[in-house]
Structure 1
């Protein structure tokens, strides 16, 4: 009989002999070695996700560029790079991380609305595949930088198809009121401008309509508009497009809404792309890593009041800001398997930070947990560690990678001395004798 899988967690995390494991490793063993809070990632889950996405697009020339903004740990990037992935990056720092992890530069696309001239120069020097350009002023700047360097920059114009993704307002990117992309009604003129500017080669059209989409329909609409626009540029204006970049944004299962069905998503892309002679670029991020990671925490106190019961963890909003920022829902699972027929208790799961918004879960029904017990905060592999901070002078939590029965710390917890040493006193504050 297979190990029991807790609700809303991927198969990589399951109860074995009454204890929650990551693949073949008890989470309690990781807590003993790395301390809590800490992030735990399943290598097997990452690999499985990539292979499923790659297989879905079999028969179509495609390049999967993993979106580093979801999780930029070197071990995570390396896992995907070894499988053949490229990288979708939005900063020089992410570019350097991708290159350091072994991503070939010809598989890197540079997105983002605010690229600096210095970032452009570093990316051109590295020889990346393309810049996803998002404004006419960015186009002018890229032309200047490339011309000064004697380079040619591959350009994909990121168009805004004005499709409502139906997701959270803070992660919607494809409507006319968003800062991202070039409005599709203006993009034809920008394409002509691209072809006329020195140092540029218009090689593709790109889009990205948002994050955490749980319906295929917005994709279907956006893909159709993108491909229709690309065909117009090729057939009427004579542009030779080599690539169509469909972006990412596929949702995962946090609570009620089911994740996007990969087969349906792929079918929508295949339908729109029928007859397109080039390569499709895909930029999944959250879908690749969210289910493959948990945040492991320990209960510090159970505080019972007249109106509420608070389970106070050593993990906080500085570790996982998504609930405070997006009202995000994450499963909270006891590491010790609850006994059969256990009751449920309604609690607020909170952290120790001096903010009322430091809440992991509100009004959550879950098995009772006691002081000192471990819990796993699930579906936390995306936008967790990358958005963490040292607020309240709390050290960044370590990150751990598990493969089979082995595990390794892939980012250490900094010491307090290391944190303080990164500050510097002003010259007039240094007393000399």
Structure 2
């Protein structure tokens, strides 16, 4: 569910006409709904009622300060994967004891910053990282709480580029070596083992891979406790998918995900940490673009938009589908046409959809890419010196620009010339 609905023939974001935002801010523009962000976070929080838990939003999905602060005020923790994300979380008012630091390549500088600013735990992914963290913590005279990310070798049955739980993926340590790795961790100074971490991938649409992975984690809890480790937290990652195509079978609901966690791991007496990102932010955002030209090609028509792959890279990078809808609601029985929907970037890969059936459109019409709130603005670039897309947050009947579109002068002035030029 989201809060982008037609009303009186116009697409609205909550109680604000999308066309009004486009007229004032320009296009392309990302628009987010506070009500949708709030609802989706609460669904996860409520799904784990009855268990000690923390919902740490995976902020790599969408990390604007206004989004983070909205979620932080609801009680969300944050899952960060870089020093920059850690700084963003802190700037949004998230206390260190609600921040989990994940990622395979943490630097010593990032470790030091998190230990100075406060951290709930590091999810360590290798023995070299564990050694480095031990040295940093010991130098600082502090203790670093850790969970070891284990790779359960479970096929998440998702896109190859976002699968993380198979043996060939770069993430975590093989679960078969977990006892050995935990013994090493317990022997290192400056570290405190507090739990187990697992994350098998993103955009999962079936609970069975979770069941397989969580069952293995439950068995590992018993083995590690028998070895003398105080396992009191289970970080189960995120990855629950969203319906990118309306009308298709919906992925599992957060309540079903929560029930599975309770069924498989509820008897372990552990605090549960989950890290949803896409399901919180994905359907909470749209990308609005204007049609520049309708171009007739050899056997096909091209709908050329002012948005491009640098603004929304998911279709080019993942062959991802986004529903594309007109901002003016089509009349019942309106004429349809098949378009290749493309942007103006000088790449053939700058294609959002091929032979997509849409209501007949013309230059000047506005369209919206649905489910663009996650991995949209955060993955945008200034390729072709195209300014980063502005972001807008809507709440009820008002909206605010939460990231301005930079001018060409601002972009160019970031460059510095050497003294000999």
The correspondence of residues 346-357 of structure 1 with structure 2, limited to 5 A, is 346-357=338-349
* Distance in structure 2 (CA, Å) of the matches to 1:126 and 1:249: 28
Distance in 2 between residues matched to 1:83 and 1:372, nearest whole Å: 39
Which of these residues, 50, 59, 74, is aligned with residue 59 of structure 1? 50
Match of 1:243 among 230, 233, 251: 233
Q: After TM superposition, list the pairs within 5 Å mapping 1:220-235 onto structure 2.
A: 220-234=211-225
Q: Which residue of 2 aligns with 1:3?
A: none
CA distance in 2, matches of 1:93, 1:24: 34
Consecutive unaligned residues in structure 1, runs of 5 or more: 1-9
1:344 corresponds to which residue? 336
- 1:214/1:257 contact within 8 Å kept: no
Deviation track 1:237-276 (CA, whole Å, cap 9, x = no partner) reads 0111120000000000012452223232112111111222
CA distance in 1: counterparts of 2:113 and 2:396, whole angstroms: 38
Displacement of 1:363 after TM fit?
Answer: 1.3
1:297-333: CA deviations, max 9, x gaps?
Answer: 0000011223111110000000000000000000000
Residue 275 of structure 2: aligned partner: 283
Q: Is the 8 A contact 2:152 2:216 kept in 1?
A: yes
Partner of 1:28: 19
- Name the residue aligned to 1:164: 155
Matched, 1:321 2:316: no
Counterpart Cα distance in 2 of 1:42 and 1:267: 27
Residue 120, structure 1, aligned to residue 111, structure 2: yes
SS at match of 2:45: helix
- Tell me the residue number matched to 1:68: 59
CA distance in 2, matches of 1:257, 1:157: 35
Q: Hey, what does 2:93 align to over in structure 1?
A: 102
- Give me the whole-angstrom Cα distance separating, in 1, the residues matched to 2:298 and 2:150: 54
Q: Secondary structure at the match of 1:315?
A: coil
Residue 106 of structure 1: how far off its partner (Å): 0.2
**Structure 2 partner of 1:428:** 420
State the alpha-carbon separation in 2 of the partners of residues 151 and 292 from structure 1: 40
Distance 1:272 1:43 in 2: 33
1:41 to partner: Cα distance:
0.1
1:168-212 Cα shifts (integer Å, max 9, x gaps): 000000010000001001111110111110000000100000000
1:6 corresponds in structure 2 to: none
Show structure 1 runs of 4+ deviating over 3 A: none
Give the whole-Å Cα distance in 1 for the aligned partners of 2:316 and 2:252.
Answer: 24
Larger deviation: 49-58 or 140-149? 49-58
Which of residues 352, 358, 377 is equivalent to 2:350? 358
Give the 5 Å matches for 1:401-412. Answer: 401-412=393-404
Unaligned runs of 5+ in 2: none
Give, in whole Å, the separation in 2 of the partners of 1:51 and 1:283: 13
Q: Does 1:394 align with 2:409?
A: no
Q: Give, in whole Å, the separation in 2 of the partners of 1:64 and 1:390.
A: 33
**Superposition TM-score, scaled by structure 2 size:** 0.98
Tell me, in whole angstroms, the C-alpha distance in 2 between the residues paired with 1:37 and 1:260.
Answer: 32
How far apart are residue 355 of structure 1 and its match? Answer: 0.2
Aligned to 1:4: none
Secondary structure of 1:71's counterpart equals coil
- Secondary structure (helix, strand or coil) at the match of 1:428 reads coil
SS at match of 1:296: strand
Tell me the TM-score normalised to structure 1 length.
0.96
Query: In the alignment, is the contact (CA less than 8 A) between 2:152 and 2:174 conserved in 1?
Result: yes
Q: What is the distance in 2 between the residues matched to 1:409 and 1:164?
A: 40
Q: Relative to structure 2, which stretch is displaced further, 136-145 or 50-59? A: 50-59
CA-CA distance at 1:227 after TM superposition: 1.3
Q: Deviations over 1:387-431 (max 9, x none)?
A: 0000000000100000000000000001111100100111111xx
Q: 1:153 to 1:291 in 2, by over 3 A?
A: same
Distance of 2:270 and 2:333 partners within structure 1: 57
Q: After superposition, what is the alpha-carbon deviation per residue over 1:53-88, rounded to whole angstroms, capped at 9, x for unaligned?
A: 111110010000000100001111111100000000
